[in-house]
């Protein structure tokens, strides 16, 4: 169930991405239909960071930021009083120019240049007087800021993995003993435990494919002998496969869970992933669970979404101190996660049994789709806000 690996490297490697950015330059300079947005050229080098820039006044501005240095640069327009960032240009290659557009309001503005292997440079400050509202500035989040949340999260995952080991061992024992009814019940419990840990997919490395891989992409699909993990076991338990056939599958799952727990203390969480996962877990839930794609027979994808919501909430909890001062949309995140969770819970049948997505009526389905989609929209900014930045 791995989250797709995506997004280029974190900030330290200011690689690529240039071509696309460059293509836009001419267009932006001329196409601003916001009226007479002034265009200003700002040159940066490791000798000076916008040393001769000026601001005519408040309103929309497009700065053409030119890198006159021999190294890649990141250029931010900041409030020099507290380092809050109004706008940024990333990965600006030597000799290249990229637009930076913003609505300038009352306040203090200075360019800050970050060249690889050099200390940050901050240029002269320009103060815009009066009381005009402009684009807001946001305090950048640093790697340092993310260390404590990541540690907290790492510990939480470790605890979850111990539970996972216990639960997968119980499932394996049930399968070996031929208690397939108990195995089906235990399977769901253990799978939801794993799905709650969603934020750590990439950090689980190859273990995720072993423990929660889909049959997609395997030659032979569900008949592939290489297919292992929860979904493989689900397929067997709900498609009439016997204890004998499933014993090695269940044993392998339990062994992989133990392997992961053993490896976890030395596995690191990439700091950039902390924010990315806050929406990626539910992106996957939308793509694979809400569609029913990952239903290999148990009809429990709605339960999986419930677990994914809990995993998302844990990430939000550890990031909360960073988010509260930076993200005005945070209350809406909780509003929509609450609504989604309530709607998911309400689908359960008598005795708390989970229903397959496919049997929900259209109205209920659309309510859930709407809440999931809206939750994702309000979650998405968190990844941008909590991307670790140099300051």
How far is Cα 202 from Cα 277, in angstroms, rounded to an integer?
10
**How large is the angle between the packed helices 143-176 and 243-263, nearest 10 degrees?**
150
Asked if 86 contacts 79 with a C-beta cutoff of 8 angstroms, the reply is yes
How far is Cα 285 from Cα 301, in angstroms, rounded to an integer?
8
How far is Cα 39 from Cα 28, in angstroms, rounded to an integer?
10
135 scored as a contact of other proteins (CB under 8 A): yes
Task: Report the nearest approach of other proteins to the CB of residue 327 (Å).
Answer: 7
Contact string (CB under 8 A) for other proteins, positions 181-220, x = contact: ----------------------------------------
Task: Report the nearest approach of other proteins to the CB of residue 175 (Å).
Answer: 40
136 scored as a contact of other proteins (CB under 8 A): yes
Task: Report the nearest approach of other proteins to the CB of residue 358 (Å).
Answer: 14
**Local structure of 328: helix, strand or coil:** coil
Rule CB under 8 A: choose which of 339, 341, 356, 390 binds other proteins.
Answer: 339
16 scored as a contact of other proteins (CB under 8 A): no
Asked if 290 contacts 369 with a C-beta cutoff of 8 angstroms, the reply is yes
How far is Cα 33 from Cα 35, in angstroms, rounded to an integer?
5
88 vs 273, which CB is nearer to other proteins?
A: 88
55 scored as a contact of other proteins (CB under 8 A): no
What strands, in cross-sheet order, belong to the sheet with 48-49? Answer: 48-49, 39-45, 59-67, 97-104
Give the C-alpha distances (Å, rounded to integers) separating 113 from 14, 104, 119: 13, 19, 9
Residues 98-127 that bind other proteins (CB under 8 A): 101-103
Rule CB under 8 A: choose which of 5, 6, 19, 33 binds other proteins.
Answer: 33
How far is Cα 22 from Cα 99, in angstroms, rounded to an integer?
9
Cβ within 8 Å of residue 47, ≥6 positions away? none
86 scored as a contact of other proteins (CB under 8 A): yes
19 scored as a contact of other proteins (CB under 8 A): no
282 scored as a contact of other proteins (CB under 8 A): no
85 vs 267, which CB is nearer to other proteins?
A: 85
Task: Report the nearest approach of other proteins to the CB of residue 72 (Å).
Answer: 18
Residues that bind other proteins (CB under 8 A): 24, 27-28, 31-34, 37, 85-88, 101-103, 135-138, 140, 326-327, 336, 339, 362-363, 366-367, 369-371, 373-374, 376-377, 380-381, 383-385, 387, 389
């Amino acid at each position: 169930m791995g989250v797709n690996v995506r997004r280029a490297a974190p900030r330290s490697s200011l690689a690529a991405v240039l071509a696309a950015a460059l293509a836009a330059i001419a267009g932006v300079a001329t196409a601003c239909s916001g009226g007479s947005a002034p265009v200003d050229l700002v040159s940066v080098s490791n000798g000076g960071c916008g040393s001769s820039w000026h601001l005519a006044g408040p309103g929309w501005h497009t700065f053409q930021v030119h890198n006159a240095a021999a190294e890649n640069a990141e250029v931010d327009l900041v409030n020099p009083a507290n380092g809050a960032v109004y706008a940024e240009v990333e990965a600006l290659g030597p000799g290249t120019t990229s637009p930076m557009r913003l609505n300038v309001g009352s306040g203090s503005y200075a360019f800050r240049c970050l060249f690889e292997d050099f200390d940050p440079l901050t240029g002269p400050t320009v103060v815009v007087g009066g009381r005009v509202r402009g684009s807001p500035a946001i305090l950048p989040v640093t790697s340092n800021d993310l260390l404590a949340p990541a540690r907290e999260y790492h510990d939480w995952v470790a605890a979850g993995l111990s539970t996972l080991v216990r639960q997968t061992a119980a499932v394996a024992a049930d399968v070996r003993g031929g208690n397939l009814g108990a195995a089906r019940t235990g399977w769901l419990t253990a799978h939801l435990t794993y799905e709650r840990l969603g934020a750590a997919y990439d950090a689980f490395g190859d273990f995720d494919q072993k423990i929660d891989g889909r049959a997609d992409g395997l030659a032979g699909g569900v008949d592939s002998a290489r297919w292992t993990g929860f979904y493989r076991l689900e397929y067997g338990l709900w498609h009439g496969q016997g204890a004998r056939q499933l014993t090695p599958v269940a044993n392998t799952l339990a062994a992989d869970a133990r392997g992961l727990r053993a490896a976890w203390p030395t596995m690191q969480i990439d700091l950039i992933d902390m924010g990315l996962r806050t929406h990626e877990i539910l992106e996957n839930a939308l793509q694979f669970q809400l569609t029913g794609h990952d239903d290999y027979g148990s009809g429990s994808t709605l339960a999986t979404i419930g677990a994914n919501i809990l995993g998302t909430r844990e990430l939000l909890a550890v990031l909360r101190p960073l988010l509260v001062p930076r993200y005005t949309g945070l209350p809406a995140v909780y509003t929509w996660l609450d609504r989604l969770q309530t709607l998911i819970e309400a689908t359960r049948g008598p005795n708390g049994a989970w229903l397959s997505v496919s049997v929900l009526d259209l109205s209920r389905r659309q309510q859930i789709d709407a809440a999931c989609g809206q939750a994702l929209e309000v979650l998405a900014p968190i990844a941008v806000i909590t991307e670790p930045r140099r300051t």
